[in-house]
Structure 1
Amino acid sequence: MPKQLYISIFCAFLLAGCQPPAANTAQPPSTPPESLPGASSTPNIAPASPDATGSQPGANPTPGPDGLPQASPIPGSAVPGALPPGLAGIRFLAGLNRFLDDQGESVNLGVELLNAAGQVLPGQVALEWSSSRPQDLIVDASGKVTALVDQGYTEIRVRVPGSSFEATTIINVNSTSGGNSGSSGQTGKATVPFSLTSESGSKGDTLEIRGEFLGGRDTILVRFGELIVPVLTAASTRLTVEVPDMPAGVVEVRAQEGSRSHVAGYTVLPRLSQLSTGLSLNDQVVIKPGGILTLNGSNFDPTPANNTVYLGDLALVPNSASPSQLTATIPAGLTTNANLPVSVKTDSLTSNKIDALLRHLVFDNFSPSTGAPGTIVTINGAGFSETTAVHFNGVPAIFTVVSPTQITATVPAQAIEGVITVFNGNSASSGTAFDAQRVIRVNAQVNTGQAGYTANGATWGNAYNNLQSALGMANAGDTIWIAQGTYLPHATEPTVTFQMKQNVNIYGGFASGDANLADRNPVDHKVILSGDLGNDDIRTVTPFTAVTPNSFNVIRGANSSRLDSVTIQGATSSGMLNNGVSPTLNRVVFAHNNASYGGGLRNISASPQMTELRFEQNHALSEGGGLFSSNSNITLNGGVFEGNVAGAGAGGMINRDGTVSTLSNLRFVNNRDGRGVNGRAGGLTYWASGGGSLENAVFDGNDGTAGAIYVERIDGELLIDRVVAVNNTGLETIVRFNIYAAAGTSSVVVRNLLVANNEATSDVFTVLGDTTDGSFVMRNATWANNTWFTALDGFNLHPVNGAAAFNAGVTDVGNPAPAQDIVGRNRIGNPEPGAYEYDGPIVP
């Protein structure tokens, strides 16, 4: 009877109805299967396989597909019972001993029940145990495995009777006593003496094992705990393996070759592979106070509190944690600059280290990336609380500390292209250059005779005294600042014009000495671009009288350019001409200009973006006293047309020949056309237009064939919404209407219209002419008596409390009401019709 050495017994579950099998005394020699080193690791949850039959105790079973003999059930070892709810699989308990060192030694194997998510279930089940070679190891119904020989491999299989749940493991007997092994007839085997070149490491590390190995890579089996890992390289005295992905902690590394094996302890450490903050300097991660540090790696604890992030000696608890990533907040109060090693400690195990730069003063980014002097630049970073200076390529700038992580700075007048630098005892600079646009200054009053004067526009003292010189020197990206004064395109030649340049912006309204764009005051420091070359025009009459010679065009636009805060006057063929170009116009006044078409501004195949324009006392012999657009796509938000005259059509504005217009927040006051056969509207005319929209508009006191609006031959869709029309007059013998749509006009929607006091026997707002071939729709047009209006902005057109049309506006699907009214008040609820929203108290 072989000696039995019982080690600590651990039973995971109470096993009911199980009887130990009879002892098997047959003990033929046992050798490890040749395919074992190449076999896969034991699965955690294994599907059932049919019981092997015909295997008798003492026989050598036929090897299965995995190279191991198939297990034979021990007769009568278990009785099926009820299964716990949710049972989806079983697995051997982790950490159980799988290696026996002598005959008679025994080990008890434990099993866990698992649900579909791999979580352990409570409960008890009956288990059926079997071994592939009962002559080597005997396993009883409780899972106790006893060695009957001194060496050999045996597969132990456990099943839940009556189900598909099973799991397998391998037990190996390695004799340490030497000599004979009883009935096996084999001599005791020697160990494989080896040493590990490192006692610890992390996932992915290459571990070298040194020893005496007899065969090649395919004859050697290496395990980390229960996990078999492939041998990367093998030689007679060394082999290499890769540390597998497994939980951090101490694990046994066992090398086996045939019947020879040895074991050594190895510590699997958490591994830190990458740091990230979004900032870097010379390819090294920069850590900023108050920022977030992301740490990527492996073998971290998924519970944040079980990890510690070290910045040098500073310990931080992560904000979030997963096995492969941690995040931590860097304390905002750090005030040092240092090169710090970063590591992670999980329980008592510390990862490798990666160096990072801790910077108390950090420059993240800035925006915008380009701008003229006076542009406000926002700088983001860290450590800004004690900022003492901000420089644009060495030029000091005015700045404001918004927070410890943000500064706003004003581009200084002398700035040139270069980096932005922040100072607080230390310094930090931007990684890219700020494109400081060159400013060219123009001042008609500059003293060109002063000592040291150089006409280059770099300073107000060296400003050009005329705009033509500045335009001649300007390159793309430059900005021209004009001081108060009057500027002529040429002293005597009418064909000469101010020709704008692409990507060159022109701003008026400066006083000499202004340092920033925000310093200018266009009202107090008026800039006039004049075509009145002899300064002798008569502007006291309407239309004004040009005493020639006058400039044909005062100025012509260019693509991607801007004209801002100037007055254009005195032209005889349109104050400004945009022919095939798309400039931006802001706060430009067109006054006392003449032309055949478009006295103030003429757009031909152009797409200008326009805001807050004013057209006054301009004259066209034919069409468009103030503004004429043909075959164009225009946008105008905010503006006044007042006192403009056209000989035939559209005293204020005309859109024709396919022009698409987006118009909003406009006032047409006292404009008129000639009331002739070709006459159209005193205010606004759409003729053969491409449609578009008109929202929030007032027509007051206009006179023409149609007083306010004339529409004919729309090729597209036109929406006219929330318009007030008062005090307008039309040609009574032809129209008698304030708003006129000619025959054939289609795809026009007029809604939320308020009309009052217009010249007619009654304020009729139907359509003149045959509209059966079109779709002219007028919705919610309202007769508004004078109780609707009150004077709040110089026009008696604001709604008053108690008016019948309160909250009576309508909308259509896809065409909501404007967000604000003509003076910028928010439209609320069901907005009022007309251009104004009531915002006073509601009094019953």
Structure 2
Amino acid sequence: MKTRLLYLMLLVCSISFSQILPSGQYGKFEFTNGSLTNTALNGGPNLSGNTNPTIGPDRNGAANDALVGMSTLNGHTLGATNVNNMTLSFWIKSNSIATQQRILQIYGTAGAGFRFELDNSKLYLISKVGNSTYGVLADWNADETIALTNGQWHNIILRTTPVNYNTELELDVFVDGILQNNISGSADLNGTVINTFLHSAQMVLDPTGTYTGGIDDIYLYKSALSDTQITNLANYYPATNSLTKFYVNANATGSNDGSTWANAYTNLQSAVTNATDGDEIWVASGTYKPAVTNRSTSFDVVVPNLSIYGGFAGTETQLSQRVLGSNETILTGDLNGDDVFVDDHFVNSYTHSSKTDNSYSILNITSLGENLVLDGLTISNTHNHTSTRIGAIFKEKTISNLTVKDCTIKNNISKTGAAGILAEFELNNTSGTTGDLIIENSKFINNMSIFGAGMYVYLGDNTNVDVRVENSLFDNNIAGNFSGDGLSGRASWFISIGTNANMDLKLINNTYVNNLDNSTGSGININSRAVVAINKTAGTINAEVVNCIFWNNFYPGSTTSVKSITNTYNDAVQSLNVRNSIDPLNFNDASITSTTATNTADPLFASSTDFTLQSNSPAKDAGDNTYVTTTSDLLGGQRIFNSIVDMGAYEYGTTLSTNQFDSINNEIKLYPNPTTSVLNIKMNSNLKGATIYSVLGAKVLETKSNTINTSNLKTGLYLIIIEAENGSIATKRFIKQ
């Protein structure tokens, strides 16, 4: 075993009592008010077992933020792949322990893994690594003489790092930020590669039920942190009173600090500026402008994992209390409040004198604004006359995740394309996590540009992105000419232009109606105009269009409908499959790979302006349930009613509102999904129970566990209704393979 004196010197010299928590946790358990929820972004499952552990003050005196009375807790699994690079940090507090007690363990396949034990004089590490191919194992079992049972909080960190071509695993143990030489060492397979350490492993607290001490602030990383990060981790303390929710109300008259509805910020940018990673912003009904006169100013998002919710009356205490559609939260670029819109003419609207004051963009998602959620907002009346392509919602190219739900994007105009949403992706993530663009239950109305008027999505080199647009309405969007350069795609345009790019595109239960196209740019004619353009110049796109309605989309002066989907003037994508959808021309374009259960029948909307369905609509009960991922339609009603989902954004005859589900729907994660044998529920609230139904409404399973055995379920789509102990209810869907 090589000496660790150098590590010790580096750590002692670098201790600065930092409070920076290294990012990238797979497990983050701070036990606030006894919560067993994993609060790591995109992390693993929650802890489970004793759902009511004894809680008490943590090391900073915050009441009820540590586990002080232990019992066995498990359920936090690390996944099916092996992990050799790992860092685990946790805090313990214990009085006298005469006989050795086990604090914590992580074990997986073949008994490989590790555990920590403790008594009055020593800390013990027992570990094992192996190679499953050759059936060989190696141990590192050691202890450190150190007094940790003195009724004080102490930090313990284990870092594991493979060395010598992955044939030896170094295990470094730090106590209160100091490397411990005796307990640290290495498990050596003597030339055989280690492929089994934390393979299909699970973390268990108090595994033998004998540990009498307390535990707090567990941080687990699937990586070996640097010495500086170890120091930061040992000195990190989570803030106890940080404000995680800011309130905005244009009519508030209080202290303008965002702390309550009464003291709400009156300016949205104040909340966005003061928010930190993971915060929520609740915005009451009213009109909010990014500037007084400066057209270049927008609301700039500069922190990750921010959620901005609109649609509040200004009295709510729960997200589920919103009545979407009743309290409109408008983010507008009409700085003078005098816009005149010519609904059917791009150039006349673009050149109208009332637009000379309008903002170029409303929301600018900077490179720091990863994983933004926009929910319940109206984003309208931008006017971009510059040569720079920029939408009402504009995403910096390196941002990989954006979610837009229950929003209305309307009356936006751009000279250079993408009036509504501009989502360009250049992620360099071909070997990393796939990006996600989710547009759900939203409306795109009266947006005008030379192409991609509602939304424009493009992929650059070495970029993988999943795009899902679901339960959304595209109404009266216009792709028009400006000096003869209109290029079509009036509702939306999806394109891959980069090598090694890959887009998985799903358009589900959308209604495309009254969209106008009079573009005549190069290569554009009656055969290449499209309501939705899907094409490529390089890379790969695999697209599915399911349960959608295309109707009354036209070219001025034409007596027949124009095509709903084409590849315009670029190459067709690798696959474009259309299922259970309506189009007057029955999707007769060469770029479409296949059609299934499509038809040309009039969908029989309720009226020319109401796109819900009549009782005898051919779109009623004519969809494919297996593609549905949401629980509510565009009006907030039950998405699958009468056993089979309807085509389009609206479900006929639904009476059940799912607003009751909103409060925890956003916090719940099901994984793995699809599943083969086990489905895990990750949620911030404590689980009361879950019930699984088939898509035909038959109850197939009930449970009170966050980990569900699905091995006996038949292959197919299922709905799961999840109830929290606080009474909140959510509905999700999953696929059993």
Which TM-score band applies after superposition, normalised by the shorter structure?
A: 0.3 to 0.5
Relative to the length of structure 1, the TM-score reads 0.39
* Structure number with bigger Rg: 1
User: Relative to total residues, which structure has the larger helix share, 1 or 2?
Assistant: 2
Relative to the length of structure 2, the TM-score reads 0.44
